[in-house]
């Protein structure tokens, strides 16, 4: 009869696991998450027939576990919770920023082809990426009605989790992730499927793409720059030093005048002199210097 009793994990062992997970994935599990780690590791160990935490640790440390198995382990320790329209204030800020930029650019050159590329970082199962695309589509319609001009936009979602990205690419949702989706968005930009499922319309899906990437290894990604970097509920799981490195990488990926929008309380300070905090008490956002058309106060 197999032994399903969960073994004890010594404090020194927990510290070793904390350190390995942090250095290889950025995931920082505080003391309060020890029981969660233990239960998860035990489940993986049972599936693989590994007897002790130490044996499992050694296998991972010697990299004798495939990268897929490592990714599965990290995935099971990561929070993927998300939904459509999760943070309306941040979303409104992005749309207001894009509107002001387009109008500012057309005021200088009415013929200008205005392109906006948004990056949804840590996009999980895609709801955030599609929310941005839906709102950009609405903005485009309203600008084309009022000025006869079109805004060209694309939204790229990245996440480290392969299973989450597979859901994102299908764009099929049901249940709680739709709770805050406005009925007009549901009616206009989704197709109804069987079993109360809905799928993001093809027009919106065409505006999005999803890529697997680790935000700790952004240098290995194509060196593209973005107008908007939207990163919510991701950095809270990282240590302060890591957050600073990631913000510095984001800053390099922002176009001059671009906007970085983070989640509330995601970071306590930003040291980059080229990022200026947007004066908006509902959002945590920064503009990269060197852009004059959109004044920061217009976004407050």
Ligand X SMILES: C[S@@+](CC[C@H](N)C(=O)[O-])C[C@H]1O[C@@H](n2cnc3c(N)ncnc32)[C@H](O)[C@@H]1O
User: Contact residues for ligand X (CB under 6 A)?
Assistant: 25-26, 78-82, 86, 122-124, 128, 159-161, 164, 214-216, 232-234
Please, which residue, 79 or 141, has the CB nearer to ligand X? 79
What are the tokens at 133?
Answer: 């695309």
Residues forming beta bridges with residue 210, ordered by sequence position: 157
Q: Which residue do the tokens 């004890």 mark?
A: 8
Least distance CB 26 / ligand X (angstroms)? 4
Phi, psi values for residue 108, rounded to 5°: -80, -45
* Secondary structure class of 204 (helix, strand, coil): helix
Least distance CB 214 / ligand X (angstroms)? 4
Please, which residue, 28 or 106, has the CB nearer to ligand X? 28
Containing 7, the helix (H) or strand (E) segment is none
Least distance CB 217 / ligand X (angstroms)? 8
Least distance CB 9 / ligand X (angstroms)? 23
Please, which residue, 50 or 226, has the CB nearer to ligand X? 226
Please, which residue, 88 or 113, has the CB nearer to ligand X? 88
What are the tokens at 276?
Answer: 């200026």
Please, which residue, 20 or 107, has the CB nearer to ligand X? 20
Length of the chain as a residue count: 300
* Secondary structure class of 58 (helix, strand, coil): helix
Least distance CB 189 / ligand X (angstroms)? 18
CA contacts within 13 A on the Cβ side of 9: 25
Please, which residue, 131 or 294, has the CB nearer to ligand X? 131
Contacts of 260 (CB under 8 A, 6+ apart): 229, 231, 247, 250, 251, 254, 275, 285, 286, 287, 288
Least distance CB 178 / ligand X (angstroms)? 13
């Amino acid at each position: 009869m197999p032994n399903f009793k969960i073994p004890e994990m010594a404090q020194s062992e927990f510290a070793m696991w904390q350190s390995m997970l942090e250095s290889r994935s950025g995931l920082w599990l505080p003391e309060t998450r020890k029981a969660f780690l233990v239960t998860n590791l035990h489940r993986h160990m049972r599936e693989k027939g590994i007897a002790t935490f130490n044996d499992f640790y050694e296998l991972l440390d010697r990299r004798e576990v495939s990268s897929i198995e490592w990714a599965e382990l990290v995935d099971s320790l990561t929070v993927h919770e998300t939904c459509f329209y999760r943070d309306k204030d941040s979303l409104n800020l992005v749309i207001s920023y894009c509107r002001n930029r387009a109008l500012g650019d057309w005021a200088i050159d009415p013929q200008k082809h205005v392109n906006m590329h948004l990056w949804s970082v840590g996009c999980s199962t895609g709801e955030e990426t599609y929310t941005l695309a839906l709102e950009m589509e609405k903005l485009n319609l309203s600008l084309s009605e009022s000025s006869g001009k079109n805004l060209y936009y694309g939204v790229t979602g990245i996440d480290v989790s392969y299973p989450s990205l597979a859901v994102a690419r299908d764009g099929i949702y049901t249940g709680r992730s739709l709770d805050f989706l406005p009925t007009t968005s549901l009616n206009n930009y989704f197709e109804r499927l069987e079993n109360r499922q809905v799928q993001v319309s093809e027009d919106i899906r065409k505006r999005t793409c999803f890529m697997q990437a680790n935000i700790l290894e952004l240098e290995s990604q194509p060196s593209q720059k973005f107008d908007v970097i939207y990163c919510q509920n991701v950095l809270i799981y990282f240590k302060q030093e890591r957050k600073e490195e990631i913000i510095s990488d984001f800053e390099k990926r922002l176009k001059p005048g671009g906007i970085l929008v983070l989640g509330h309380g995601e970071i306590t300070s930003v040291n980059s002199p080229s990022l200026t905090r947007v004066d908006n008490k509902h959002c945590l956002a920064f503009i990269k210097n060197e852009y004059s058309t959109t004044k920061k106060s217009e976004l407050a």
